[in-house]
Amino acid sequence: MPAPIRLRELIRTIRTARTQAEEREMIQKECAAIRSSFREEDNTYRCRNVAKLLYMHMLGYPAHFGQLECLKLIASQKFTDKRIGYLGAMLLLDERQDVHLLMTNCIKNDLNHSTQYVQGLALCTLGCMGSSEMCRDLAGEVEKLLKTSNSYLRKKAALCAVHVIRKVPELMEMFLPATKNLLNEKNHGVLHTSVVLLTEMCERSPDMLAHFRKVGLVPQLVRILKNLIMSGYSPEHDVSGISDPFLQVRILRLLRILGRNDDDSSEAMNDILAQVATNTETSKNVGNAILYETVLTIMDIKSESGLRVLAINILGRFLLNNDKNIRYVALTSLLKTVQTDHNAVQRHRSTIVDCLKDLDVSIKRRAMELSFALVNGNNVRGMMKELLYFLDSCEPEFKADCASGIFLAAEKYAPSKRWHVDTIMRVLTTAGSYVRDDAVPNLIQLITNSVEMHAYTVQRLYKAILGDYSQQPLVQVASWCIGEYGDLLVSGQCEEEEPIQVTEDEVLDILESVLISNMSASVTRGYALTAIMKLSTRFTCTVNRIKKVVSIYGSSIDVELQQRAVEYNALFKKYDHMRPALLERMPVMEKITTNGPTEIVQTNGETEPAVLETKPPPSGLQPASQANDLLDLLGGSDITPVIPTAPTSKPASAGGELLDLLGDLNLTGSPVSAPAPQVAQPPFLLDGLSSQPLFNDIAAGIPSITAYNKNGLKIDFTFERSNTNPSVTVITIQASNSTELEMTDFVFQAAVPKTFQLQLLSPSSSVIPAFNSGTITQVIKVLNPQKQQLRMRIKLTYNHKGSAMQDLAEVNNFPPQSWQ
Residues numbered 31 to 50 that lie near other proteins (CB under 8 A) are: 44, 47-48
CA distance 161 to 96: 21
Dist. CA 221–CA 185, nearest whole Å: 12
Residue from 22, 40, 117, 548 touching other proteins (CB under 8 A): that is: 117
Relative to beta strand 242-243, strand 598-603 is unpaired
DSSP string of 735-749, one letter each residue: EEE-SSS-EEEEEEE
Q: What's the min distance (Å) between Cβ of 39 and other proteins?
A: 20
Output the smallest distance, CB 686 to other proteins, in A: 51
Q: Which C-beta is closer to other proteins: that of 341 or that of 360?
A: 360
- Give least dist CB 362 to other proteins, A: 6
The single residue among 28, 340, 350, 362 that binds other proteins, judged by CB under 8 A, is 362
- CA distances from residue 425 to 386, 444, 478, 775, 797 in whole angstroms, order as listed: 16, 12, 10, 52, 39
Q: Which of residues 2-21 bind other proteins (CB under 8 A)?
A: 6-8, 11-12, 15
Q: Does residue 289 interact with other proteins by CB under 8 A?
A: yes
Binding of other proteins by 684 (CB under 8 A)? no
Where are the alpha helices (H) located in 260-379, listed in sequence order? 263-279, 285-300, 305-319, 324-337, 342-346, 349-354, 361-374
Any contact of residue 122 with other proteins (CB under 8 A)? no
Minimum Å gap between C-beta 471 and other proteins is 30
Q: In what order do the strands lie in the sheet with 757-760?
A: 643-644, 757-760, 775-783, 728-737, 713-721, 705-710
In this chain, which of 71, 134, 182, 363 binds other proteins, going by CB under 8 A? 363
The yes or no reply on residue 366 touching other proteins (CB under 8 A) is: no
Please count the residues of the chain: 820
Which listed residue (36, 115, 772, 817) binds other proteins by CB under 8 A? 115
d(CA 422, CA 420): 5
Cα 651 to Cα 820: distance, rounded to the nearest angstrom: 36
Q: Which is nearer to other proteins, 332 or 725 (CB)?
A: 332
Residues 238-267 that bind other proteins (CB under 8 A): 239, 244-247, 249, 253
Tell me whether residue 197 or residue 794 sits nearer to other proteins (CB atom).
Answer: 197
Tell which one of 71, 160, 307, 409 touches other proteins (CB under 8 A): 160
With binding defined as CB under 8 A, does residue 760 bind other proteins? no
The reply on whether position 107 binds other proteins by CB under 8 A is: no
In the complex, least distance from residue 295 CB atom to other proteins, rounded to whole angstroms: 11
> What residues from 432 to 491 belong to the interface with other proteins (CB under 8 A)?
none
Minimum Å gap between C-beta 406 and other proteins is 24
Say whether residue 120 binds other proteins (CB under 8 A): yes
- Going by the DSSP 8-state scheme, the letter that residue 654 receives in this structure is -
Nearest distance in Å: CB 409, other proteins: 25
By CB under 8 A, tell whether 401 contacts other proteins: no
Q: Out of 38, 69, 104, 163, point to the residue binding other proteins (CB under 8 A).
A: 163
Binding residue for other proteins (CB under 8 A) from 133, 262, 354, 360?
360
Residue 768's DSSP bridge partners are 743
- Give the residue from 378, 379, 400 showing the smallest Cα distance to 391: 400
Instruction: Check residue 123 for interaction with other proteins (CB under 8 A).
Output: yes
> Counting contacts by CB under 8 A, is residue 60 touching other proteins?
yes
Using rule CB under 8 A, residue 764 touches other proteins: no
Kindly tell me which of 246 and 389 has the beta carbon lying closer to other proteins: 246
Please count the other Cβ atoms lying within 10 Å of the Cβ belonging to residue 744: 16
Torsion (CA) 434, 329, 412, 393 in degrees, nearest 10: -30
- Which one among 37, 67, 104, 193 touches other proteins, defined by CB under 8 A? 193
Instruction: Please tell me whether residue 650 binds other proteins under the rule CB under 8 A.
Output: no
What gap in Å lies between CA 64 and CA 53, rounded to an integer? 9
Alpha-carbon span 303 to 258, nearest angstrom:
12
Q: Spell out the residues 6+ positions from residue 109 whose beta carbon is closer than 8 angstroms to its own.
A: none
CB-CB contact of 565 with 512 (8 Å)? no
Whole-Å CA distances, 617 to 569, 599, 637, 809, 812:
42, 20, 9, 20, 21
Q: Indicate whether 679 belongs to the interface with other proteins (CB under 8 A).
A: no
Q: Which window, 80-88, 461-469, 649-657, 739-747, contacts other proteins (CB under 8 A)?
A: 80-88
Smallest gap, in angstroms, from Cβ of residue 200 to other proteins?
9
For other proteins, how many residues bind (rule: CB under 8 A)? 73
Closest approach of Cβ 252 to other proteins, in Å?
Answer: 9
For other proteins, which is the closer residue by CB, 288 or 472?
288
Q: Please, which residue, 278 or 362, has the CB nearer to other proteins?
A: 362
Report the distance separating Cα 360 and Cα 362, nearest Å: 6
**Choice between 91 and 809, CB closer to other proteins:** 91
Burial annotation 405-433 (CB, 10 A radius, 16+ → b, else e): bbbebbeebbeebbebbbbbbbbbbbbbb
For the residues of 364-375, what is the DSSP string, one character each?
HHHHHHHHHHH-
Considering only residues 31, 53, 54, 312, which one is a binding residue for other proteins as defined by CB under 8 A?
Answer: 54
Asked if 400 interacts with other proteins (CB under 8 A), we say no
**Does 214 contact other proteins by CB under 8 A?**
no
- Which residues from 300-329 bind other proteins, rule CB under 8 A? 324-329
Q: CA–CA distance from 269 to each of 196, 211, 341 (Å)?
A: 19, 17, 21
CB of 45 to other proteins, least distance (A): 9
CB proximity list for 712: less than 8 A, separation 6 or greater:
737, 738, 739
534-573 residues near other proteins, rule: CB under 8 A: none
Residue from the set 53, 70, 84, 368 that interacts with other proteins by CB under 8 A: 84
- Residue 359, interface with other proteins (CB under 8 A)? yes
Q: Which is nearer to other proteins, 189 or 703 (CB)?
A: 189
Angle at which helices 396-413 and 439-449 cross, to 10°:
30
Which secondary-structure segment (H or E) carries 403? helix 396-413
Q: Is 106 in the site for other proteins (CB under 8 A)?
A: no
**Does residue 124 interact with other proteins by CB under 8 A?**
yes
Report the residue number, 288 or 775, with the smaller CB distance to other proteins. Answer: 288
Q: Of 73, 89, 103, 127, which one interacts with other proteins (CB under 8 A)?
A: 127
Options 286-294, 399-407, 566-574, 711-719: segment touching other proteins (CB under 8 A): 286-294
> Residue 25 CB, nearest distance to other proteins (Å)?
18
Give burial (CB, 10 Å; 0-12/13-18/19+) of 341: middle
Given the complex with other proteins, which of 96 and 214 has the nearer CB atom? Answer: 96
Is residue 793 within a helix (H) or strand (E), and if so which, with residue range? strand 792-800
Strand pairing report for 643-644 and 757-760:
parallel
Order across the sheet with 803-811: list the strands: 639-640, 743-753, 792-800, 803-811
Q: How far apart are CA 736 and CA 771, in angstroms?
A: 8
Question: At closest approach, how far in Å is the CB of 40 from other proteins?
Answer: 16
171-190 mask for other proteins (x: CB under 8 A)?
-----------------xx-
Beta carbon nearer to other proteins, 155 or 795:
155
